[in-house]
Amino acid sequence: MRFTVMNINGNQNWVEFFQKKALQQTSTILIGISEDASFYQRLRPIMLKFLINSNLSFVLVGKNPMKFHSSSNFSSFQNRVETITDPKPEQRMASLIFNQSNLRTDHYQIITKPIVVIRGALSSSKFLAAIKNEIRKVPPYQKIDGIPLQTISRLALLETAENFQFFFGGVGIDEVNSFESKRKMIGLSRLFFERLKHPLHIGLLSGGRLSDEGRDAIVDQSLSEAKRLEKVFTEMWKKNPPDIPCSISHYEILIEQAISHNVDLLIAPNGISGNLIYRTLVHLGKGRSFGAVYLNLFLHFNRIVIDCSRVAPSFEIEGAIGLAAGLVPFMLL
């Protein structure tokens, strides 16, 4: 079986890392399905790869998932591919994230644990809203460092056209838009990399060069935030060293320099620019994406939820499945 794995010089091949672990799992993967047949057409051969080469099971969740699945030739794996039909699939998926004890599919009950979730072709805005609503139900409703747990922090796994793989924070337009949200993203990312037992070098991006200070108030604020974050975490980690080697550098607006310095994690100046960086890299710059993990759900609730675009090409769907199942060994027992 050949997955989409690149030869990387000088940095961790995360796609290969997670996919090797994914093939050893027996998890059940829930994937959102829309009425658009094109997503399922890309998903089906990838599911078949994993069914043949692993013990993973799949549950397709949507308004009418049997519309596609009933015509599929999964006869050899009929006990490992199921469907959940629901008029509000985003809400059903979000509910199943926190209530996994009684997963009932359209035909029978699957009890394979743990259950991991991939948004797939479902609406991003509806899915996010449903997740936040479910978090509010979890007692006791709490805050971490003054930030509500429903504050979403997603870490995307990306790859440049030159095959350099890195994690990226700030893919959502409402993410990393303040000092506090960036601070939380960095703190959660450090905990995430500690779970992976991998050193962490963080690159902070801002709205200009240091020499640009004074040209624009928004740029000045962006530079000030990045400099402050660099100082705060450098001093914190020097005083209380994490369990893994951690470093953080402000690369100003020079994203190319950050990549050349082999950063493990890149933090965007804000959510809008982060979303544009992601789209430019993946849709115009011949880069690739492999899904995004919801850090707050993974670290605070011990749940694996992966974001995957509705228009995701095959390599992103494959990467998202690998990331989802590959994270299972790093869950708390």
**What length is written for the chain?**
333
Tens digits of residue pLDDT in 266-323:
999 999 999 999 999 999 999 999 999 999 999 988 999 999 988 899 999 999 999 9
Look at residue 9 and tell me whether its pLDDT is greater than 50: no
Closest to 110 (Cα-Cα) out of 24, 22, 28: 28
CB-CB contact of 294 with 128 (8 Å): no
Tens digits of residue pLDDT in 257-280:
999 999 999 999 999 999 999 999
The reported pTM is: 0.92
Q: What is the pLDDT of residue 63?
A: 94
One-letter amino acid of 303: R
Closest to 51 (Cα-Cα) out of 68, 26, 20, 17: 26
**H or E element, residue 52:** helix 37-53
Q: Report which DSSP code applies to 166.
A: E
Mean pLDDT of the residues in the chain: 90
Tokens at 167, concatenated: 């994690």
Q: What is the pLDDT of residue 98?
A: 86
CATH class of this structure's domain 155-293: alpha beta
**Strands 200-204 and 115-118, bridge-based pairing:** unpaired
User: 10 Å Cβ neighbour count for 100?
Assistant: 17
**H or E element, residue 204:** strand 200-204
The pLDDT confidence band at residue 111, using thresholds 50, 70 and 90, is low
Tokens at 181, concatenated: 């949200």
Decide whether 10-138+301-333 matches 155-293 in CATH topology: yes
**Which CATH architecture fits 10-138+301-333?**
3-Layer(aba) Sandwich (3.40)
Residue 284 CB-density burial (10 A; 0-12 exposed, 13-18 middle, 19+ buried): exposed
Edge-to-edge strand order for the sheet containing 28-32? 81-85, 57-62, 28-32, 115-118, 305-307, 288-294, 154-159, 165-169, 265-267, 200-204, 246-250
Q: Report which DSSP code applies to 189.
A: H
Tens digits of residue pLDDT in 146-155:
556 667 899 9
Tens digits of residue pLDDT in 163-208:
999 999 999 999 999 999 999 999 999 999 999 999 999 999 999 9
Q: Report which DSSP code applies to 278.
A: H
Tokens at 319, concatenated: 């990467």
Distance CA(23)–CA(192), nearest Å, equals 21
Tokens at 312, concatenated: 């995701």
CA distances, 270 to each of 157, 172, 173, 178, 256 (Å): 18, 9, 8, 8, 17
Distance CA(15)–CA(6), nearest Å, equals 8
Closest to 299 (Cα-Cα) out of 166, 196, 225: 196
Q: What is the pLDDT of residue 25?
A: 93
The verdict on whether omega for the bond into residue 140 sits within 30 degrees of 0, i.e. cis, is yes
Q: What is the pLDDT of residue 76?
A: 79
Q: What is the pLDDT of residue 281?
A: 96
Question: What per-residue string of b and e applies to 129-147 under the rule 16 or more CB within 10 Å gives b?
Answer: ebbeebbeeeeeeeeeeeb
Provide DSSP, 81-140: EEEEE-SSHHHHHHHHHH--TT-B-SSSB---S-EEEE-TTS-HHHHHHHHHHHHHHSSS
198 against 67, higher pLDDT: 198
Q: Can you tell me which residue has the tokens 């010089």?
A: 9
Domain boundaries, given as residue ranges, for the chain? 10-138+301-333, 155-293
State the helix-helix crossing angle for 179-196 and 217-239, rounded to 10 degrees.
Answer: 40
